[in-house]
Structures are given as C-alpha cells and as structure tokens.
C-alpha cells in the first residue's frame, strides 16, 4: 500500500519518497519514531502532529484516536532513540569505503591487522590512516584513532562536527568512544567485528543515550570486500 496525500502533507510525502520510504510496509520497517527523526534529519521543520500521523498510519487508525498515554509513550521513545541521520547515496559510500580499503592494504603490508579509515568533510577526504599498533608500539594506534588525529590537524579542531568517518571494520570500544567524543556526524563501516565490535556486535556505544548523542552509524558497506581482506590476512599468517 502506497503512502498518500492526504493524510500526509505533500512536503512530508515527497521527503519520505526521497528517503525511499514509499509504502506502508516501508513505514512499518522503520517505525514512526525513526521515520519522524529521518524527516527532521532531512531538513523538514515538523511538529509532533506528524509523529502522531505516522503512528496512526502504522496502526491503521486516525490520529485523533491516539490516547494521551500513547502519545506520551511515543515522546519517551523519541527521547530515548539513538541518533538518526540521512546517509549519502550507496555509490558515494562505496567510493569512500574503497579508499579506506586502500589504507587497510597498507596495514597488511606492514604486518598489521588490515583496517583502514578515512575522514570525509564536505565531500572530500581530509585524512586517511591505517593500523600502526605494532610498528608504533602503541595499542591506541588503531586506524580510526590515527585518522581522527590527522583530521583534527587538518581542521585545526579536535571536534569533527560535520565529518563522516569510513572504517573497513566495526569499531571497538576504544575507537567508538573516540568517534563519539569527536562528535563525528556519521560513521560508516564495512565488516562486522563479532569479537570486539562496539556498534552492535558486542556492545553498542552509539545507542547509549548516556553518552554524547551526535553520531549516527551504518554498517555493511562493501562488507564482503572488507571481510575478505581480513580473512586473507589471517589465513596467510597461519
């Protein structure tokens, strides 16, 4: 079933289409709260009435039938929700992830675990780095930390507002904490890390509302390529 005007305003409907949310099934998949936050992230100035309308459509009722307790529960869910953002087109994310893979290859050549990262600001790479823990005799020199340090120097600011970080592997707790503290706008990673991943695999620091809430995250970009590089590296070491 396609979303329509009415009940949605034309502006909301067109923005939902741009977010590839076109049907009631799409709306169900995202939920009313996440969809509402996506609309705001896309630049719309909307009120709570839009949230009520989205929830009512999911339930198959009119917005007027939502009870005060149900609206209060939605507002609490909105308050507790992790950061939401509109991510670049897939082709763009893949382009930058390939640059991170180039960095990961540099790690492998050094005998380091092949993880690479790039920092993107205003659609251009301002920093690129890879793991140097072994060669640097420093456990903190993960690709993400190295990339954040280089980006800070490039912008002359330790805060990286408006920056995206592309990483070939899901960040660990240390790196996730650094990314959050740097107030990176979006983190895009390739392969999941089932042993130490801090973006949902083991822990999820990015969803913890007790921490700074600036960074949204998306995984699975060129996941096979990123995973294959790691598999080849460890297979060769055996």
30 labelled binding-site residue: no
137 labelled binding-site residue: no
Return phi, psi of residue 20, to 5°: 65, 35
User: Does the annotation count 225 as an active-site position?
Assistant: no
Q: Work out the end-to-end distance of the chain between its first and last CA atoms, rounded to an integer number of angstroms.
A: 53
* DSSP letters spanning 48-115: HHHHHHHHHHHHTS-GGG--HHHHHHHHHHHHHPPP--PPPPHHHHHHHHHHHHHHHHHHHHTTS---
* Residue pair 107/131 in contact by the 8 Å Cβ criterion: yes
* Residue pair 71/202 in contact by the 8 Å Cβ criterion: no
Query: Active site residue: 34, 144, 170, 193, which one?
Result: 144
> Which residues partner with 217 through β-bridges?
187
Q: What angle do CA 228, 231, 237 make, to 5 degrees?
A: 145
Q: How many whole angstroms separate alpha carbon 182 and alpha carbon 219?
A: 19
* Residue pair 151/127 in contact by the 8 Å Cβ criterion: yes
The tally of CA atoms less than 13 A away on the side-chain side of residue 143 is 31
172 labelled binding-site residue: yes
Binding residues for Zn(2+): 142, 172, 175
Q: Catalytic residue numbers?
A: 144
Binding residues: 142, 172, 175
């Amino acid at each position: 079933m396609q979303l329509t005007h009415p009940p949605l305003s034309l502006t909301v409907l067109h923005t939902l289409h741009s977010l590839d949310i076109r049907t009631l099934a799409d709306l169900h998949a995202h939920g009313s709260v996440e969809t509402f936050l996506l609309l705001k992230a896309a630049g719309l100035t909307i009120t709570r009435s839009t949230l009520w309308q989205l929830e009512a459509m999911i339930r198959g009722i009119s917005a007027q039938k939502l009870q005060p307790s149900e609206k209060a529960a939605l507002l609490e869910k909105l308050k507790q929700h992790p950061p939401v953002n509109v991510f670049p087109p897939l082709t763009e994310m893949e382009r930058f992830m390939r640059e991170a893979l180039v960095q990961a290859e540099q790690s492998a050549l050094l005998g380091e675990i092949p993880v690479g990262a790039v920092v993107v600001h205003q659609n251009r790479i301002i920093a690129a780095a890879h793991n140097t823990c072994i060669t640097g005799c420093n456990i903190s020199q993960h690709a993400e930390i190295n990339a954040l340090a280089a980006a800070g120097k490039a912008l002359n600011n330790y805060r990286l507002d408006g920056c995206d970080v592309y990483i070939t592997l899901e960040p660990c707790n240390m790196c996730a904490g650094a990314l959050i503290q740097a107030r990176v706008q979006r983190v895009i990673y390739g392969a999941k890390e089932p042993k130490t991943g801090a973006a949902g695999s083991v822990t999820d620091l990015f969803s913890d509302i007790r921490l700074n809430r600036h960074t949204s995250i998306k995984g699975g970009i060129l996941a096979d390529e990123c995973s294959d590089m790691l598999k080849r590296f460890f297979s060769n070491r055996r």
